[in-house]
Amino acid sequence: MRDDTRARIEVAIKHLGYRPSSQARGFRQGKDYTVGMIVVDPSPNFLVEPFIGHVVTGLSTELSAQGYACLLQGVRNSRLDDATLHTFARSDALCLFPSGPAPQRRRLIAKLASFGIPLVLIEDTVPSDIEDIVCVRQDDAGGAKMLMRHLLDLGARRFLYAAPEPVWPANVARETMFRRMVRKLGSKASFARLDCGFGNFAEVQEALERWLDAGGRCDAILANNDHIGIAVLKALDARGIAVPDDMMVTGFGAFELWNYSSPLLTTVASPAHALGQCAARALLDRLARGSFAQREWVLPMSFRSGETTRQHERQPRSRTAQQ
């Protein structure tokens, strides 16, 4: 348009307080400018979990910068009915953060894929028989391997894995790696799992106290995340068990809460915020070009040395542990 026409329109916009209609823009371009995100979690307080919160923040801020709204809903495993899921059918794309047994997750993925819109899985693997779908995840197995190698270097051979009971694919990947590395040592090492309910402070302490009362002892406790690790530290301190001299403890995540642990947990850092950004960019790129650039993005984790393992007593790793 001519400059004088643009000037008159801008004056009218200012005078009328006009704002563009996202609905009208979406109707004209055939888009809703919304991306749905479903978090399947048995707990209604799912955003309290630091990893989920950081992923959602990274996703929503990246989408918002490009004019997209993020429609977020937490859904319990028992409420995955058609009525709930179809609220997302009009979105331009979907993100799914699934939990539960693998068959249940696969059924849900297939149901969402049937909507015919792009789908990004957070922390799960992509089914080979479904198109227009990608996975964005962190290298949980790699993070677990770093922690286990560190503890094996220090001579630890008896391990306890403290984890929540709900099945998350990331937790399965961590535990699988822990067990794989321990099995390589044969009868020289042992590994046990401690179920901690939903992983809140009281449930972790109660589970660990029962284990200790039953005579449980180990060289190192592998906490599934840092807040479980902090609950473990407090329970051990109340029993007069010194960390790291009597028992070593590791966490997982290195979110802000990690800095408040005392002694400071040895852990691995999660790229959760970047993971959410990666998911958003993958979807935006897919909406722009019509196909995903690749089927999977895996973001690396990094080791964070703390005070809950005996770094000053480092021992050479055995040939088996190195493998």
Q: Kindly report, residue by residue over 215-268, the tens digit of the pLDDT.
A: 999 999 999 999 999 999 999 999 999 999 999 999 999 999 999 999 999 999
**pLDDT for the residue 141:** 98
Q: What is the mean pLDDT of residues 126-134?
A: 92
Predicted TM-score (pTM) of this structure? 0.84
Cα dist. 214→161, 198, 208, 209, 211 in Å?
16, 22, 10, 9, 5
**pLDDT higher than threshold 70 for residue 154:** yes
> Which residues touch 181 (CB under 8 Å, ≥6 apart)?
145, 148, 149, 152, 321
Is the pLDDT at 312 greater than 50? The verdict is no
> What's the average model confidence in pLDDT over 286-315?
87
Residue 88 predicted with pLDDT over 70: yes
Cis link prior to 263 (omega < 30° from 0)? yes
The helix or strand, by DSSP H or E, that contains position 36, with its residue range, turns out to be strand 34-40
- Domains, the chain, with CATH or none: 19-139+273-301 (3.40.50.2300), 140-269+303-322 (3.40.50.2300)
Render pLDDT for 134-145 as a digit per residue (tens, 0 to 9).
999 999 999 999
pLDDT, mean of residues 155-173: 95
Question: Closest by alpha carbon to 252, among 177, 158, 182, 157?
Answer: 177
Residue 291 three-state SS:
coil
Which backbone phi and psi does 35 adopt, to 5 degrees? -125, 125
Task: Using the predicted structure, report yes or no on whether residue 79 has a pLDDT greater than 80.
Answer: no
Name the pLDDT band for 89 (thresholds 50, 70, 90).
Answer: confident
Answer yes or no: are the C-beta atoms of 70 and 37 closer than 8 Å. yes
DSSP 317: P
**Which of the 8 DSSP states describes residue 315?**
-
In degrees, rounded to 5, the angle at the alpha carbon of residue 225 between the alpha carbons of residues 223 and 226 is: 95
Average pLDDT over residues 161-190: 95
C-alpha distances out from residue 180 to 17, 183, 229, 310, Å: 64, 5, 22, 23
Q: Helix, strand or coil for residue 214?
A: coil
Taking CA atoms, 170 is separated from 97, 137, 140, 141, 253, in Å, by: 11, 8, 6, 8, 12
Please tell me the distance from the alpha carbon of residue 102 to that of residue 300, in angstroms, as a whole number.
24
- 52: pLDDT strictly greater than 50: yes
Mean pLDDT of 33-48: 88
Residue entry with tokens 């997750």: 105
Mean pLDDT, all residues of the chain: 89
